[in-house]
Structures are given as C-alpha cells and as structure tokens.
C-alpha cells in the first residue's frame, strides 16, 4: 500500500531525516507585526528573541491555510498515494489537527489519517520517524495509528518557563487563572495533560525549579517497564548553559541512555518565551520491535 507521511515544522526533523524517509513537512507561520515568517524557512528561535528584545510586536502563530493543505493532499492523491498519515502538533495548543479532521471528513478520497501527537518538537518528530519505519515495514494505516498510540503513551515532559507572559497572552495555558495573579518572580512547573499545557506547581527561583523537575523526572521514570529503552531530551530557549547542566545530570542519572539536546522551535518558543527549559523522555524507537508492539 502506498502511504504518504506528512507532518508540520514543529516536529523539527533534520533535512536528512526528511529525505531518507520521504516525509513532507508543512511549515507553521509565525506572525510578528504585519509580517509572516515560516518556521524552518526564514525564522529561528534566536531571531525571534532578538526581535523581541528590540521591541517587536508580540509574536503570534497560525495554521497553514486550508488551501495549502487541500493542494498538498490533491497532489498526493493524484500521485497514487492510497492513504495519507499526517502527524500534527498537539490539538491542545493548536487547532491544526481539528482542521485536518474536517478535511478528512469532507474528502474521503484522500483516506487521510490526521494523527494528534499530543506533543510537539522532537517528541512529535520521533512519532513521525516511527511511522516512517512502519510504512517501510508494510504496516497498514490503521495498524500504524494503533502502534503510534502505544508509543505516544510513553512520552512525558516537564518544563519551566521564566514567566507566564507568553503562555497567558497566547491562551495556551489551560489553568492560567490559578497562576496569573502570582506571576511575579514565580517559575511555574508545567507539563502536558491530554495534549494541553497545565501548570502544576510554582517555585521561586529557576535554579530550584530545575532541581524540582529533575527530581520529578527521576521519580516518574524509576518504575517504567521500558526504563532500559528510554530516550531522553533537553529542550531550551536561548539558555544553552542551563541545558548543558541538565544534560550532565541526565548523563549521570541515566548512564548510556541516548539524550537529544535541542532548542524549542520558533513556534513553541513563541508560546513559552525566553529562558524556558524542559526535560522529556519516551521509549527509544530504535529499540522497538514493531511487529510485537
């Protein structure tokens, strides 16, 4: 069965990963003032924060236009693809997946499978790479989606933002009301719950907040059945020193485990703001037996 694999730019796949796995990436727009930038093409997190420091308007994000998506799916359908799997950033922080659900409903000829990663950045990216592996192994779309659900269930992320300004202004924090009144000098601890960003604690310094998420990460991973198959992540926004310190902590506590260290993509950095930091983990897709998953 000929299956097309599509994702959005927040999955931060490398050009090599894209080319080797025949993945189509749809860029997500970032709007600053009256100018639209395309993630992965003409905007970086570094450029975004530099513009903010120089007084640029508060950044906003949008979805790719429905017209662009229809154009892409028409092209893939005409090329003989019998199904399309499109893995998106979390529906809890974007309406993108909902748009694709409507397209799938109204255009059954595409045989479109919009898949909600309930995450973003490279956690989403590894779900895309897992789907690519399963396509090469000959699995059918329904089988791939069911196995992606099992992989997605292994994902967890803890993060700290320097302040809640970007999240609250962008409307991406589901329980903002409980924290907005105490934003000053508070470092909120956040996580994803069913694809939505929620704050679950608040600490009075970044150093203590990072120490807290490190401890929580150890607690949450201690009894996992797949602990010996973990892949860990450090994500950051313009604070490589802090990321390197967390990387050292992970190397000490999880010796020999693969660790990805990367900046938050511009779209995600738009919502989290500068100096944000995260620890995340999931099962390493390189260690999965997809046949028995």
Q: What topology does CATH give the domain 156-287?
A: Hypothetical Protein Tm841; Chain: A;domain 3 (3.30.1180)
Boundaries of CATH 3.40.50.10440 in the chain? 3-28+63-152
- Reported as a single tens digit per residue, the pLDDT across 133-145 is 999 999 999 999 9
Boundaries of CATH 3.30.1180.10 in the chain? 156-287
Question: Residue 27 above 90 pLDDT?
Answer: yes
Confidence (pLDDT) at 181? 42
Q: Can you tell me the distance from the alpha carbon of 248 to that of 281, in angstroms, rounded to the nearest whole number?
A: 15
- State pTM to two decimals: 0.93
Q: Can you tell me the distance from the alpha carbon of 229 to that of 226, in angstroms, rounded to the nearest whole number?
A: 5
Pick among 3.40.50.880, 3.10.129.10, 3.40.50.10440, 3.40.50.970: CATH of 3-28+63-152: 3.40.50.10440
For residue 72, CA distances in Å to 26, 87, 90, 103, 232 come to 9, 14, 21, 12, 33
Question: Residue 149 above 50 pLDDT?
Answer: yes
Q: Mean pLDDT over all residues of the chain?
A: 91
Q: For residue 173, what pLDDT band results from cuts at 50, 70 and 90?
A: low
- Reported as a single tens digit per residue, the pLDDT across 98-112 is 999 999 999 999 999
Half-sphere exposure of 36 (CA within 13 A, CB side): 9
- Reported as a single tens digit per residue, the pLDDT across 205-238 is 889 999 999 999 999 999 999 999 999 999 999 8
Confidence (pLDDT) at 178? 47
Q: Can you tell me the distance from the alpha carbon of 282 to that of 217, in angstroms, rounded to the nearest whole number?
A: 12
Q: Which among 272, 261, 117 is positioned nearest to 199, based on CA atoms? A: 272
């Amino acid at each position: 069965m000929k299956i097309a694999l599509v994702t959005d730019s927040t999955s931060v796949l490398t050009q090599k990963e894209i080319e080797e796995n025949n993945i189509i990436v749809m860029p997500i727009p970032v709007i600053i003032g009256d100018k639209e930038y395309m993630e992965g093409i003409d905007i970086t997190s570094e450029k975004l924060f530099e513009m903010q420091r120089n007084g640029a308007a508060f950044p906003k994000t949008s979805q790719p236009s429905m017209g662009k998506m229809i154009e892409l799916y028409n092209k893939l359908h005409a090329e003989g693809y019998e199904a399309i799997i499109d893995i998106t950033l979390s529906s809890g922080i974007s309406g993108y997946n909902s748009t694709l659900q409507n397209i799938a409903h109204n255009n059954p000829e595409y045989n479109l499978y919009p898949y909600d990663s309930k995450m973003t950045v490279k956690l989403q990216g590894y779900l895309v790479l897992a789907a690519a592996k399963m396509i090469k192994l000959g699995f059918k779309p329904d089988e791939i989606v069911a196995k992606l659900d099992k992989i997605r269930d292994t994902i967890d992320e803890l993060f700290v933002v320097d302040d809640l300004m970007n999240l609250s202004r962008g409307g991406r924090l589901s329980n903002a009301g409980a924290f907005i009144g105490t934003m000053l000098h508070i470092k909120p601890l956040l996580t994803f719950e069913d694809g939505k960003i929620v704050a679950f604690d608040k600490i009075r310094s970044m150093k203590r907040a990072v120490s807290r998420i490190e401890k929580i990460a150890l607690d949450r991973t201690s009894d996992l059945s797949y602990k010996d198959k973990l892949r860990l992540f450090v994500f950051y926004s313009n604070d490589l020193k802090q990321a390197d310190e967390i990387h050292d902590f992970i190397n000490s506590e999880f010796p020999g485990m693969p660790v990805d260290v990367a900046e938050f993509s511009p779209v995600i950095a738009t919502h989290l703001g500068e100096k944000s930091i995260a620890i995340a983990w999931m099962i390493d897709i390189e260690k999965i037996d997809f046949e028995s998953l």
